[in-house]
Amino acid sequence: MSETRDLFPGFATHRIVHDGVTLHARVGGSGPPLVLLHGYPQTHVCWHRVAPKLAETHTIVAMDLRGYGASSAPDGGGATDAGHAVYSKRAMARDVVAVMAALGHARFAVMGHDRGARVAYRLALDSPEAITRLVLLDILPTVEQWDNMRWQSAMRAYHWAFLAQPAPLPETLIAGAPAYYVDHTLASWTRDGTLAALEPAALAHYRALLADPARAHAVCEDYRAGATYDREADAVDRAADRRITTPTLLLWGSDYLGRGAVNPLDIWRRWCTDVRGEAIVSGHFLVEENPEAVLAAVGSFLDAGS
């Protein structure tokens, strides 16, 4: 069945333990290392249309964030994690460094989409010595996202507040119809409002994510961390005028972030010393809706830093 086929043929599978969390990664190709970090409600398989091409010139590490995909889902948000640090982007960034170190890479490029892009820019802020190039897909900084929330963006990104509600409210509601919830979320963020651009085998992975109660809880903890720990960490950096010094490429969907009230590049110029970017004709899922345009933009950017 297509739904169970391997979307990364020829890539090796690695399972690396860090901080009590088992992290799953697919590794292929050769050349300068590039780690790929997925977003919500997805897993590492979202990169299946661009990873083989990127692997022609780079060593590709497509990993599942903690709580997602085949990585383990540590409990978070309990009495010992009232600040939601377990699923903070700082903790996830440390996971990335540990995975790459275990694979023999002290310095590497990072490309992240959605939640993975939040991990990527937090990594660039906390550990700039580890990052050679930074590619961010379709996000604003977390604190800016909250600060710029208007009725239009709140309607489109209602899940920011919904998933961040105290447990077990969102977990319980999602459990009532997880496949419907995932399909609705994905379709509502594509350019054409359907699932047509998404590979059925990848969709099977995304549906499985929130069908698992432990991972549904992990996803909610990710967003609870976004509303608390991550937002506050960003606010501290912004107040101190700490900037990302790694050369950065920002790509955004013409029919998702590009429909907002602010210019994404204008926002990121306040956070980065060296940033460039462009809109990609797509909804939120750039690498699945328009992989050719993403590869064209990313390839020249990465080649310039090799």
Quote the Cα angle for 178-137-55, to 5°.
95
Within the chain, strands assigned E span 12-18, 21-29, 33-37, 59-63, 108-113, 131-137, 248-253, 275-280
Contacts within 8 Å (CB) and 24+ apart, 78-82: none
| CB contact set of 278 (below 8 Å; sequence gap of 6+) | 251, 297
Partnered with residue 252 across adjacent β-strands are 279
Of 64, 95, 114, 234, which is the active-site residue? Answer: 114
Is residue 24 annotated as a catalytic residue, yes or no?
no
- Structure confidence at residue 1 as a pLDDT band (50, 70, 90): very low
Domain ranges of the chain: 2-305
Of 38, 84, 205, 284, which is the active-site residue? Answer: 284
Phi/psi of residue 183, each to 5°?
A: -60, -45
Pairing of strands 21-29, 59-63: antiparallel
Partnered with residue 273 across adjacent β-strands are none
Average pLDDT, the chain: 96
Percentage of the chain with pLDDT > 70? 98
Instruction: List, for residues 57-112, the tens digit of each pLDDT value.
Output: 999 999 999 999 999 999 999 989 999 999 999 999 999 999 999 999 999 999 99
Percentage of the chain with pLDDT > 90? 92
**Residue 55 reports pLDDT greater than 70:** yes
Is residue 284 annotated as a catalytic residue, yes or no?
yes
Domain 2-305 in CATH 3.30.450.20? The answer is no
State mean pLDDT over 151-179: 94
Instruction: List, for residues 209-220, the tens digit of each pLDDT value.
Output: 999 999 999 999
Which among 19, 39, 96 is positioned nearest to 219, based on CA atoms? Answer: 39
Phi/psi of residue 158, each to 5°?
A: -60, -25
- Angle separating helix axes 115-126 and 89-102, nearest 10 degrees: 80
